[in-house]
Structure 1
Amino acid sequence: MRFTYLESLCDISHFRPLAVAVEKAGFSSFALPDSIMYPKETDSKYPYLSSGDRSFINAPMLDPFILATHMAAYTQTLQFTTFVAKLAVRNPVLVAKTVSSLAALSNNRFRFGVGLSPWPEDFAVCGQPWEKRGDRMSEMIEIVRGLCAGDFFEYHGKFYDFGPIKLNPTPTRPMPILLGGHAEAALRRAVSMGDGWMHAGGDRDDLKSLLDRLQQIRRELGVADKSFEIHVISVDAFTPDGIRRLEDMGVTDVIVGFRNIYDPRSAGQPLAQKLIALEKYAERVILKV
């Protein structure tokens, strides 16, 4: 089992010391959420909270690619995983240039978690159509993967069309692309196009259903024997026995945080308290499995 630390929507000065401490504590990765902007007026709902309230994102949130670059400069082995970057609202060639540069600068310590933004406003302000966003993102994933391979690459799809181009530098080994989302289309896209799937949270029964469906799709597509990462948020991640249960379910990575980032009242949690929490977790869980 690998361990990913999640912190966001907080004092931005915390990230540098947290990255150093997270690496020292034995975590393998730091999860970096993505939010483009916060609209003054919106009817959109957040799909992973029963209330649908999205006001929690009206707080400091750095661009995940810049934040990863910043923290990579102060660490040696820690990886950085977008959780998840809103790929569908961005230009895929520019994204490929950004992530290939980040992967190269960090010595291949970047994992690209991607997904669809649930909010039409993100698409509108970035000049991207809301319609056919899933199909368009599928082409984007192909473009990013192709351009990050290092050779000349051309693409002729329904939404994007360009002749041979090359990026330099690019990662010296393949950059993992992980897909988020709980919908059927998202699960299928993760299996057919990704190196893994990222879970956004929920109860045990929901998680089991999602994992069962992932395995069904993998068997249907004939890739059940292919390496496939599964990153989850679960209360079972907070005990050694729970970690073993998750491993038995096929989970490869757990994502853990030590405050409720959906609760604005927790945003002011002191850095010292965060450092104590992650150190205790390392002692009670990471060192026990």
Structure 2
Amino acid sequence: MRFTYAEAMTDPSHYLPLARAAEAAGYTSFSVADSLIYPKESDTSYPYTETGDRSFLEDKAFIETFTLIAAMGAVTERIRFTPFVLKLPVRPPVLVAKQAMSIVGLIGDRLGLGVGLSPWPEDFKAMGVPWERRGKRMDEAIDVLRGLATGEYFEYHGEFFDIPAIKLNPARPVPILVGGHSEPALRRAVVRGDGWMHAGGGDDLDTLLTRIDAIRRAEGKADAPFEVHVISMDAYTPDGVKRLEDKGVTDVIVGFRNPYQKGPDTEPLAKKIEHLERFAETVIAKAD
């Protein structure tokens, strides 16, 4: 089992020392949240809280995802970084490929590219991208990422993207981890991705894992390498970690405060490091 430390919506000055502390404590990955804008008015609800309220985002600092990964990568040597998740279809995929390839060129194979759909039409509008057929746009964007990550000349002619033969340098393949709980998202993770990222919330984890297994079998990929990243209370005890591992989970995502609380994060940096180190001593060390 591998362990991902999750921290978001906190004082930006905390991230670099937290990355160093998580690496020293034995975590495999550090998850990086993605948020673009906060609209003044919206009727859209957040899908991963019980009430759908998203006002917890108000006045929270969000450093651009690849910028934050580059900064944390520069002060660490081994820990991996996993966007959780990058809102892919609102972004130009060639630019995302360039950003991702630049990251791996700087810090090596320490990027697991978590991608997903934004649940908010306002993100699409702000970026000048249609909300309609966003799933198909997402599929094409993943195809473009895959092609450009080879480092060879690549061209693409789809419904949304028409790209002449181009190549990027540096370039190397990166794992693409697809987030989401819907049937199209689960299928996308299996068919186009290298793994799946569970977003937590009220959906039944066992049901989602069973469905992913069924899709993998149907697609002839049951024995292919596949990452499964989950949020679960079972992750906080050695016995629970073993139960998750028996279900095929490869990575657990753990955090030590409620990120959905309104208002600023007032927890001191020293307390955050204390929490992540205690978990490493009581769970990670015993799960090896």
TM-score normalised by structure 2 residue count:
0.98
What is the CA deviation profile of residues 183-228 of structure 1, one whole-angstrom value per residue up to 9, with x for unaligned ones?
A: 001000000000000000035x700000000001111111111110
Compute the displacement of 1:264 (Å). Answer: 2.5
1:1-289 matches, cutoff 5 A: 1-58=1-58, 59-171=60-172, 174-202=173-201, 206-265=204-263, 267-289=265-287
Compute the displacement of 1:49 (Å). Answer: 0.8
Equivalent AA in structure 1 for residue 261 of structure 2 = D
What is the CA deviation profile of residues 118-155 of structure 1, one whole-angstrom value per residue up to 9, with x for unaligned ones?
A: 00000000000000000011000000111011111100
Q: Distance in 1 between matches of 2:175 and 2:20?
A: 23
Q: Would you say the 8 A contact 2:31–2:83 is kept in 1?
A: yes
Q: Distance in 2 between matches of 1:190 and 1:266?
A: 34
Q: Distance in 1 between matches of 2:112 and 2:150?
A: 15
- Aligned-residue Cα RMSD (Å) equals 1.0
Q: Distance in 1 between matches of 2:56 and 2:101?
A: 31
Q: Would you say the 8 A contact 1:260–1:266 is kept in 2?
A: no
Q: Distance in 2 between matches of 1:126 and 1:16?
A: 29
Equivalent AA in structure 2 for residue 145 of structure 1 = R
SS in 2 for 1:230: strand
SS in 1 for 2:112: strand
Q: Which of structures 1 and 2 has the larger relative contact order (alpha carbons within 8 angstroms, sep 6+)?
A: 2
SS in 1 for 2:155: strand
Q: Distance in 2 between matches of 1:224 and 1:37?
A: 39
Q: Would you say the 8 A contact 1:34–1:63 is kept in 2?
A: yes
Q: Distance in 2 between matches of 1:48 and 1:238?
A: 20
Compute the displacement of 1:266 (Å). Answer: 6.5
SS in 1 for 2:285: helix
Q: Distance in 2 between matches of 1:162 and 1:248?
A: 43
Of 118-127 and 57-66, deviating more is 57-66
Compute the displacement of 1:265 (Å). Answer: 4.8
Compute the displacement of 1:57 (Å). Answer: 1.7
Q: Would you say the 8 A contact 1:259–1:266 is kept in 2?
A: no
Of 30-39 and 157-166, deviating more is 157-166
User: How many residues of Structure 1 are paired with residues of Structure 2 in the alignment?
Assistant: 286
The percent identity for this pair of structures is: 58
Q: Distance in 1 between matches of 2:263 and 2:88?
A: 30
Q: Would you say the 8 A contact 1:7–1:31 is kept in 2?
A: yes
Q: Would you say the 8 A contact 1:34–1:85 is kept in 2?
A: yes
Q: Distance in 2 between matches of 1:251 and 1:272?
A: 30
Q: Distance in 2 between matches of 1:107 and 1:194?
A: 20
SS in 2 for 1:197: strand
Q: Would you say the 8 A contact 1:35–1:57 is kept in 2?
A: no
Runs of 4+ in 1 over 6 A off after TM superposition: none
Compute the displacement of 1:108 (Å). Answer: 1.4
Q: Distance in 2 between matches of 1:185 and 1:16?
A: 36
Compute the displacement of 1:10 (Å). Answer: 0.7
SS in 2 for 1:264: coil
Q: Distance in 1 between matches of 2:186 and 2:137?
A: 16
Runs of 5+ consecutive residues of structure 2 not aligned to the other structure:
none
Equivalent AA in structure 1 for residue 114 of structure 2 = G
Task: Call closer, same or farther: CA 1:6–1:128 in 2, change over 3 Å.
Answer: same
Compute the displacement of 1:156 (Å). Answer: 1.1
